[in-house]
Amino acid sequence: MPDAVVVEGLSKRYGAVEAVRGVSFTVGHGEIFALLGPNGAGKTTTLEILEGFRTRDAGRVEVLGRDPGDRAEGRALRERIGLVLQDIAVEPYLTVRETIARDAGYYPSPRDVDEVIRLVGLAGQERRKVKALSGGQKRRLDLALGVIGDPSLLFLDEPTTGFDPSARRSAWQNVRDLRDAGTTIVLTTHYMDEAQALADRVAVISDGEIVAEGTPSTIGGRDIARARIRFALPDGCSVAELPVAGLPVDAVPAEAVPGDGLVTVETRKPTEALHELTGWALRHGMVLDRLTVDRPSLEDVYLRLTEHGAPEHNTRRSTR
């Protein structure tokens, strides 16, 4: 089956600003794909082109086998995609149920209204007026409106902004359930834990260009990065006293950033290094307090990949 989304060499400029520069990626059917990037990186522009709301200057775009820039195909495509955007306009005096039922009427074969209410966790709120919903409940309603048409492809723009932690977890489960039922999902988020928890694949866009693409656990070489062992130096002990000779050759203990007082040992052989360090501590009757072992998080990798994408670099003036 061809991919649900194909983007090749996509470019878009606004006057002198080159918002998107030669972006290429694909999204397979039934996949959750996250587009990550700093403010102004070009995410919204890219998604709006895929959704058919913006024209492109160059490149090829195919969404569910159709060109979203082709007006003649627009209606057929819109019936098969769902959108959960920021600030969807809804009628404040309608109830939750009325709002969802009204939108169901716009689609040729919508999902069952009550099933969608349950799916997004609004059961019990059906008769409340939209204006009386909390921010998180309103966002759930946005999700309900995105899926009521039973889309094959769903675009989610920062789906859990404003959610409390437990509402986020349940929204993530909603999204996974949709994926498991066969919906392809393209999302943007500024929460790296959200991308880690949800996405099958992520692409990082910075300054209008894709700078990395992969699974959340392998992107940017995360899986082969050195592990980081951290602990508090036992009282009265200095870094120089640590058993450096017995550590793997790539492991050099270093005092960590001032403030937390933790020592860091980075190594590709964490098992050996931990064995040496904890064995040394036990032999000396000491405790390695606050001991942790981790690898660079998705957020660490993301920050490294986008460090040149800070807002002051984001006004891309063309030299042409």
Ligand X SMILES: Nc1ncnc2c1ncn2[C@@H]1O[C@H](COP(=O)(O)OP(=O)(O)OP(=O)(O)O)[C@@H](O)[C@H]1O
The answer to whether 168 and 131 are in contact (CB under 8 A) is: no
Q: Give how far Cα 298 sits from Cα of 43, 194, 218, 256, Å.
A: 18, 10, 9, 20
The region of 38-46, 73-81, 161-169, 195-203 touching ligand X under the rule CB under 6 A is 38-46
C-alpha triplet 105, 148, 53: angle, nearest 5°: 85
The region of 33-41, 164-172, 244-252, 271-279 touching ligand X under the rule CB under 6 A is 33-41
CB atoms inside a 10 Å sphere around CB 23: 25
| Least Å from the CB of residue 48 to ligand X | 8
Phi, psi of 70 (to 5 degrees): -95, 110
Asked whether position 318 contacts ligand X by CB under 6 A, the answer is no
Asked whether position 40 contacts ligand X by CB under 6 A, the answer is yes
Asked whether position 6 contacts ligand X by CB under 6 A, the answer is no
The region of 41-49, 90-98, 102-110, 264-272 touching ligand X under the rule CB under 6 A is 41-49
The answer to whether 68 and 50 are in contact (CB under 8 A) is: yes
| Least Å from the CB of residue 319 to ligand X | 16
Q: Which residue, 44 or 160, has its beta carbon nearer to ligand X?
A: 44
Q: Which of 4, 5, 19, 263 binds ligand X (CB under 6 A)?
A: 19
d(CA 17, CA 114): 45
C-alpha triplet 296, 300, 305: angle, nearest 5°: 120
Q: Which of 2, 9, 16, 39 binds ligand X (CB under 6 A)?
A: 39
59 CB-side CA count, 13 A = 23
| Least Å from the CB of residue 86 to ligand X | 8
d(CA 158, CA 170): 15
Asked whether position 52 contacts ligand X by CB under 6 A, the answer is no
Q: Which of 7, 44, 160, 206 binds ligand X (CB under 6 A)?
A: 44
Spell 228-240 as b/e; 16+ CB within 10 A means b: bbbbbbeeeeeee
The answer to whether 45 and 103 are in contact (CB under 8 A) is: no
Q: Which residue, 47 or 120, has its beta carbon nearer to ligand X?
A: 47
| Greatest alpha-carbon span in the chain | 77
The region of 13-21, 64-72, 244-252, 290-298 touching ligand X under the rule CB under 6 A is 13-21
Q: Which residue, 99 or 306, has its beta carbon nearer to ligand X?
A: 306
Burial class (CB in 10 A: 0-12, 13-18, 19+), 197: middle
Q: Which residue, 173 or 318, has its beta carbon nearer to ligand X?
A: 318
Burial class (CB in 10 A: 0-12, 13-18, 19+), 75: exposed
Q: How many residues lie near ligand X (CB under 6 A)?
A: 13
Q: Which of 6, 17, 130, 197 binds ligand X (CB under 6 A)?
A: 17
| Least Å from the CB of residue 40 to ligand X | 4
Q: Which residue, 9 or 221, has its beta carbon nearer to ligand X?
A: 9
Asked whether position 56 contacts ligand X by CB under 6 A, the answer is no
Sketch the per residue contact string, 186 through 225, with ligand X: x for CB under 6 A, - otherwise: ----------------------------------------
C-alpha triplet 158, 172, 35: angle, nearest 5°: 40
Asked whether position 42 contacts ligand X by CB under 6 A, the answer is yes
Contacts to ligand X by CB under 6 A: 14, 17, 19, 37, 39-45, 314-315
